[in-house]
Amino acid sequence: MTEAVVGTDWKAWQDSWDRQQEWYMPDREERFRVMLDMVEAFAGPTPRVLDLACGTGTITARLLDRFPGAVSTGVDLDPALLAIARGTFAGDDRVRFVTADLKDPQWTGQLPHASYDAVLTATALHWLHSDPLRTLYGQLAGVVREGGVFLNADHMPDPGTPRINEAERTLRHARMDRAKAAGALDWRAWWELAAADPVLAGPTAERFEIYGEHADGDTPSAEWHAQTLREAGFAEARTVWSSPMDAMVLALK
């Protein structure tokens, strides 16, 4: 391990990632709180969790803070975000990370466990188009144990309410503009910082080769997610939380 890696302040990178994401989603922590409430409701205080498209491991960090007896597998494809995740949880036996593409038909074969009490994901599956997402939901139905849950918190706009959507968007963007003027980092500025960091520069260049700026996906409605999850083999599915811009769908196996 190089001196630079030893000296990297992973917690600072975690925090700055969280601030950047909160710039887009001021109620991000609220959705995580409800997500973990639902995990507790269905799996109790020692769940085995799959943190799907984990990024820097934000969900895993909140999971372990609240349930120290939990274990987590984080899956992602981004080498820079995974470097931060691996650095943050180095030496913690409760956490494993897997590099995998969720569009790879074989990705579940890389998991260290055959099944999970809960699969959790946030702000990620809109990077997939609807057809690969439907396929992924079918795979997840095979990964969540009977009686376990899948929770997806993401942008799930309702196309039937264009004026409501537009008014909410205008207000949100005005707030974001003010926060940016006060120094908040957006996605692009955050990645510029990562690219300038001696440890993260390499993995950051790699992630831009994989994704470009951002993968291109779809943002279907919460109803679409619930219906598709039922078709994929989940017994029940519905929205358990929503904000004016986002929703969280729970599917019960």
Residues near ligand SAM (CB under 6 A): 21, 53-55, 58, 76-78, 81, 101-103, 122-124, 127, 215
Nearer residue to ligand SAM within complex by CB, 107 or 224: 107
Q: How far apart are the first and last CA of the chain?
A: 43
76 with 59: CB under 8 angstroms?
no
- Residue 160, C-beta contacts closer than 8 angstroms, at least 6 positions apart: none
Are 151 and 118 in contact by the 8 Å Cβ rule? The answer is yes
Among candidates 147, 121, 162, 138, which has minimal Cα distance to 229? Answer: 138
CB of 21 to ligand SAM, least distance (A): 5
Closest to ligand SAM by CB, 88 vs 161, is 88
Nearest approach, Cβ of residue 206 and ligand SAM (Å): 11
Residue 130 beta carbon to ligand SAM: minimum distance, rounded to whole angstroms: 14
Rounded Cα distance, 215 and 156, in Å: 17
Bridge partners (DSSP) listed for residue 49 = 72, 118
Looking at the Cβ atoms of 76 and 117, the one nearer to ligand SAM is 76
* Closest distance of CB 230 from ligand SAM, Å: 23
Calpha distance 219→185 (Å, rounded): 24
The nearer residue to ligand SAM, 8 or 152, going by C-beta atoms, is 152
Looking at the Cβ atoms of 153 and 229, the one nearer to ligand SAM is 153
All residues at 6 or more sequence positions from 125 whose CB lies less than 8 Å from its CB, including other chains: 53, 133, 136, 152, 154, 217
In whole angstroms, how close is the CB of 30 to ligand SAM at the nearest point?
A: 13
Is residue 75 within 8 A of residue 82, CB to CB? The reply is no
Q: Which is nearer to ligand SAM, 208 or 230 (CB)?
A: 208
Residue 132 C-beta: closest distance to ligand SAM, Å: 8
Residue nearest to ligand SAM (CB): 55
Residue 225: both structure tokens together: 């997610």
- Closest separation in Å from C-beta 209 to ligand SAM: 13
Nearer to ligand SAM, 153 or 232 (CB): 153
Q: Which residues contact 67 (CB under 8 A, 6 or more apart)?
A: 36, 39, 40, 45, 46, 47
